[in-house]
Each structure stands twice: as structure tokens, then as C-alpha cells.
Amino acid sequence: MDTRELADRTRRFVTEVVFPVEREIVADSRPMDDALRLELQKAAKEAGVFGPLSPVQYGGLGLDTRAQAVVLEAAGTSLIGPLALNCWAPDDGNIHLLAHAANATQAERYLAPLASGEVRSAIAMTEPAPGAGSDPGMLRTTAEEVAGGWIINGAKHFTTGADGAAFVICVARTEDGPTMFLVDKDNPGFRVIRRMPTLDHTSAPGGHCEVTFTDCFVPDEAVLGEVGQGMEYAQVRLAPSRLTFCMNWLGLAVRAQELTARHISGRESFGARIADHGMAQAQLADNEIDIEASRGLILRAATAIDEEGAASSPARHLASVAKTFVSEAVWRVLDRAVQLHGALGVTEDHLVARFLVEARAFRIYEGPSEVLRWSIARRVLRTHR
């Protein structure tokens, strides 16, 4: 099956199977829980569209990043489409990270069930002030080496998916530098404190959580990769994860554009269809420009990841450029969609209202636009010094 055919099949699956469930979640407050996730993922497997990010040996499609760009845009036309296909945060980035850094035993225990959709995961990186946020150098969670393993102490928040996750990848400071540890959910030293009441809650079964590690003992085999190499592994995870966000959210912008075009074609105002008014056409045109420009930036970054490697400087730079532009462009598209729906645009009878609210965090997660602009500028200036 070629990429376009797979994308078409994915779009049909999302339209026929996922859209009705999405409506129940938004309009009828149906909970997005693990039972529903597993139900949707079972349907995705039956439709042959499950696991675009997962290796083939674990039941996935094993697509390269350029193919993912097309398929994930189709999946992203629903808020819960990526979750149904197992290509949603944080599992998307953790699948890539484990495929890169896990040893054979860890891959069998953690990667295999995650890639096949049997379990969910989380990554504990962000900390309450004065700990690490956008600046990983401020990491305060510690891991002390003891006989037979390590003891982790610290607090994290915005640990996406932690409530109900089978395991958490914890980033902690050691004498040799930041290190990643695999912590099972039933570890007595690990605790989910609460789900944080965030704007985006439709598509995350495990919420965004505050968690603590209190004298949390993990054995030596819980170290993911090498001790002291946590930031290097984070770089391997970061570019693909940022790009996955872009692909998925672009799909939602595409759907909002479609909903808006249909809406203004069927409504009249001041003696003409809204679609015939120049100001409405200008906003629709600006949406289309933002969508096409986003596709181009995503494809360029995807090409760099496939050809140069996810941790390469070109891939990281282009992923930062894409994430900054696409997050802002998606916000513009969704905001115009709400505006063109008029008063109906602020009701959840029309899904664009929920789309806008859910997408707001995209401009912050995986790097705020302001921090990414600073990083992009530094790379540009570095070549001229």
C-alpha cells in the first residue's frame, strides 16, 4: 500500500469510526478513558491503519517520517484520531525513544506493549519552579546511586498520561549528568498526586499530572541507555515528537477549514451567501495559505530526520522552525474558523470551539514559541560568528 492510499484509508476510518465518538465526547461529555482508547485502537487494527509510528515487529506500520506526515495529518482530522492510531503524545515520542535507547530486555518489557497499544506511558521531565521547564539545565530531581540500583527523589508536573500509565520515563540528575530511568507504575516510591485542570482534556486519557518520586528505588537495569546521557536521548526524542504534534494538529486545522467552508456556503447575510463576501473569502484564503505553508515546513523537517537523523543539527533546527510556525498557524486557522462561524462558533454544537480550546496548548508544549524563536536565532547567528 502506498502512502497516499494509506492516508486515504486513515481518513475514511477517522471519518466513519472516530468522528461519531468525538461528537459524543465533546457534546455529551463521554469520558475519554482507557476502555474507549482500547476500543478505538482495536478498530484501527481491524482497518489496517494502526501504529504509523510503531515498528513492524510490534504490529505497527513502520513508516518513515515523510510518510508519517501524510498519514498523521489524516489521523489528526479528529481530536482523538491520533489516539486511536497510537500516534499521540507522550507515547509517540516514547516509542521513538525506546526504539533508539532501550536494550533488548527493556524493549521486550516496555517498547513491545507500548507500540502495540496494550499500555500507555508517560515521561516525567517538567518540574515545578524552580525546577526544569523549558530550560533542562534547571533539573532538580535527583537519582543517587546505591547498592544494586538508584534512589530517585523529586517532583514533576505536566507529566502527560501519568494517571493510568504502565510506566514513566523519569529524567533525573546524577553525578554524571541527567539520566533517564524506567519506573513502573506500581513502584511504591512513585505517586500520581493529581490531574491538573488544563484547557486540553479531550484527547488525553491520563491527563496532565503532578507526580512525586520519594525514595523511589529502581534497579540498575531501569537505566534507559547510558548514565549521564539523558539530554542526548531527549534530543533524539524531541525533533520527531515536535513534528508529530505538527502533523496531528495540522489535520485538525484542515478539518476546521472544511467545516468552515461548508458553513459559510450555506449561510446568507446582507443578501448574499457569507462565502460570497470578500472579507470571508480573505480569511478562508489566509487559512489555506497557513495550511499549505505548514505542510511544506513539516515535509522539509521530516526529510531532514529521515536523511540526517533525528538528533542531527539540521533536523533539530528544521523541527523547531516547523513547530513554531505550525503551532501559530494552526491557532490562526482555528481562530478564523470560530470567527467565520459567528456566534455558533463559540458553542460546542459546532466542534470548532472545542478545537480552538484544545489547540491552545500546542503553542507551549514541546517548546514554547518564544523559546524556540530564541533557539532558532542562536543557530542562525552561530553561522555568522
Output the pLDDT for position 133.
86
Of 170, 200, 228, the last residue of a domain is: 228
**In total, how many domains does the chain have?**
3
Give the whole-angstrom CA distance, residue 363 versus residue 321. Answer: 13
Q: Are residues 290 and 213 in the same domain?
A: no
Q: Are 132 and 230 in contact (CB under 8 A)?
A: no
Q: Are residues 36 and 49 in the same domain?
A: yes
Give the whole-angstrom CA distance, residue 245 versus residue 296. Answer: 15
Q: Are residues 212 and 235 in the same domain?
A: no
* Cα–Cα distances in angstroms (integers) from residue 60 to residues 49, 190, 372, in the given order: 9, 30, 31
Give the whole-angstrom CA distance, residue 302 versus residue 152. Answer: 36
Q: Establish whether the linkage from the previous residue to 368 is cis, with ω within 30° of 0.
A: no
Give the whole-angstrom CA distance, residue 11 versus residue 73. Answer: 9
Q: Are residues 217 and 249 in the same domain?
A: no
Q: Are residues 162 and 68 in the same domain?
A: no
Q: Are residues 238 and 219 in the same domain?
A: no
Q: Are residues 363 and 254 in the same domain?
A: yes
Considering only CA atoms, which of 53, 82, 68 is closest in space to residue 255?
Answer: 82
Sequence-distant (≥ 6) Cβ neighbours of residue 259 within 8 angstroms: 337, 350, 351, 352
Considering only CA atoms, which of 288, 306, 301, 295 is closest in space to residue 372?
Answer: 301
Q: Are residues 211 and 238 in the same domain?
A: no
Q: Are residues 128 and 69 in the same domain?
A: no
Amino acid at 174: T
Give the domain range for residue 189: 121-228
CATH code where residue 337 lies: 1.20.140.10
Output the pLDDT for position 116.
97
Of 180, 196, 228, the last residue of a domain is: 228
CATH code where residue 165 lies: 2.40.110.10
Of 181, 212, 228, the last residue of a domain is: 228
Q: Are residues 200 and 247 in the same domain?
A: no
The dihedral through the CA atoms of 207, 213, 218, 220 has a sign that is positive
pLDDT in tens, the chain (385 residues): 699 999 999 999 999 999 999 999 998 889 889 999 999 999 999 999 999 999 999 999 999 999 999 999 999 999 999 999 999 999 999 999 999 999 999 999 999 999 999 999 999 999 999 999 888 889 999 999 999 999 999 999 999 999 999 999 999 999 999 999 999 999 999 999 999 999 888 777 899 999 999 999 999 999 999 999 999 999 889 999 999 999 999 999 999 999 999 999 998 888 899 999 999 999 999 999 999 999 999 999 999 999 999 989 999 999 999 999 999 999 999 999 999 999 999 998 889 999 999 999 999 999 999 999 999 999 999 988 7
Considering only CA atoms, which of 38, 363, 85 is closest in space to residue 205?
Answer: 38
Give the whole-angstrom CA distance, residue 339 versus residue 303. Answer: 35
Q: Are residues 235 and 224 in the same domain?
A: no
Give the whole-angstrom CA distance, residue 265 versus residue 331. Answer: 23
Provide the 8-state DSSP code for 132: -
The three cell numbers of residue 67 are 510518510
CATH code where residue 37 lies: 1.10.540.10
Q: Are 326 and 164 in contact (CB under 8 A)?
A: no
Give the whole-angstrom CA distance, residue 367 versus residue 147. Answer: 37
Q: Are 153 and 211 in contact (CB under 8 A)?
A: no
Q: Are residues 216 and 132 in the same domain?
A: yes
Q: Are 86 and 54 in contact (CB under 8 A)?
A: yes
Long-range contacts of 164-168 (CB under 8 A, 24+ apart): 164/34, 164/120, 164/205, 164/206, 165/119, 165/120, 165/121, 165/122, 165/206, 166/113, 166/114, 166/119, 166/120, 166/121, 167/110, 167/119, 167/121, 167/122, 168/121, 168/122, 168/123, 168/124, 168/211
